Amino acid sequence: MDVSSAVSQRISTRAFLDEPIGKQDLADWLQAAQRAPSGGNLQPWRVIVLTGGARQSVVDMAAQTLSKSPRGEPTDRPIYPEAITDTQKARRYRVGEMMYEQLDIPRDDKARRLQWFARNYRFFDAPVALFFIIDEGMGHGQWAHTGMFMQTLALLAEERGWGTCMQECWGTLRASLKSHLELGEHEMVYCGMAVGYPDREASVNQLYTERAKLNEFAEFRGF
C-alpha cells in the first residue's frame, strides 16, 4: 500500500470484528511507528497495549467510574479549549450529525446518542486497546509529537488491514486510569486508541468525514 492510499482510506473505525491480533504483530507495528519524528528526538510517549482480561478490566473500571460520575473526572487538560471558533464548532457539530445520521439516531433521541457514545468506553468492542502515556511535565510540543506517533500507527495499521479509532474521551477518566494502569507518579494518559479488524459492513464505518478546502487552510506566498 502506498502512503497516499493509507492517508485517504484511513477513517476512525468504530465497529470491529471479533478477531484477535497477535502480540508479535502488534510489537512489529509499534516498532515500525517508532520512526515517527519528535522534537529533539525526545520520543516523549509510552504505550500500554491491552487485550483480553487486561482490556476488559479497563472497560469494567470505566463503567463503574462513569456510573458514579457520568461526566467523568476533572482534568487540567480538557479535550477542547474554551476558545474554539465558530467555524470549528460548526465542524464538530457537522461530524456529529453525520455520524448519528449513519447510525439512524435522530437528534432528539438523547438516550440512544448517549448510549452510542458510551461505546467509546468499550473501545467500540475492538480487541486491542492502546493508551498513550506522557509525562505530566511535557508541554504542548510533546503532546503534538505524540500525536504524530499516533497517526503513524494509524497509517501503518491500514497497511495491515487493521482499523483504528483515536480516543481522547479517555481523558475524562485520567485519575482512575492513572491508578488502574499503575502509572508513574508524574505520568498521565493523553489518549486511547481502539485497534482491530474493521467491520466493513457496519453503518458507522461508512462515515467518510469532510475536510475544509485548500483555500480555507493554506495560503501560498511568493509563487
Residue 120 in the binding site for ligand FMN (CB under 6 A) = yes
- Kindly tell me which of 23 and 74 has the beta carbon lying closer to ligand FMN: 74
Interface with ligand FMN in residues 137-176 (CB under 6 A):
165-169
Q: What is the crossing angle of helices 140-159 and 23-33, to 10°?
A: 130
Rg (CA), the chain: 18
Here the cell at position 70 is: 457520568
Binding pattern for the stretch 51-90 against ligand FMN, x by CB under 6 A and - elsewhere: ----------------------------------------
Assess contact for 202 and 28: CB atoms under 8 A. no
- Kindly tell me which of 29 and 132 has the beta carbon lying closer to ligand FMN: 132
Contact stretch for ligand FMN (CB under 6 A) within 1-9, 10-18, 36-44, 178-186: 10-18
Residue 133 in the binding site for ligand FMN (CB under 6 A) = no
Residue 12 in the binding site for ligand FMN (CB under 6 A) = yes
* CA 145 distance to own-chain centroid: 15
Here the cell at position 88 is: 470549528
Using CA atoms, how far apart are residues 139 and 116, in angstroms rounded to an integer? 33
Least Å from the CB of residue 151 to ligand FMN:
8
Please select the residue that binds ligand FMN; options are 6, 30, 61, 95, rule is CB under 6 A: 95
Least Å from the CB of residue 43 to ligand FMN:
18
Check residue 68 and give left, alpha or beta (phi > 0: left; psi -120 to 50: alpha).
alpha
Q: How far apart are the two ends of the chain, measured CA to CA in Å?
A: 33
Using CA atoms, how far apart are residues 86 and 186, in angstroms rounded to an integer? 35
Q: 440512544: which residue's cell?
A: 112
Least Å from the CB of residue 12 to ligand FMN:
4
Q: Helix and strand tally (H, E) in the chain?
A: 8, 4
List the one residue out of 199, 210, 175, 202 whose CA is nearest residue 189.
Answer: 175
Residue 191 in the binding site for ligand FMN (CB under 6 A) = yes
- Kindly tell me which of 71 and 221 has the beta carbon lying closer to ligand FMN: 71
- Kindly tell me which of 62 and 166 has the beta carbon lying closer to ligand FMN: 166
Least Å from the CB of residue 166 to ligand FMN:
4
Which residues of this protein are in contact with ligand FMN, per CB under 6 A? 11-12, 14, 95, 120, 165-169, 191, 209
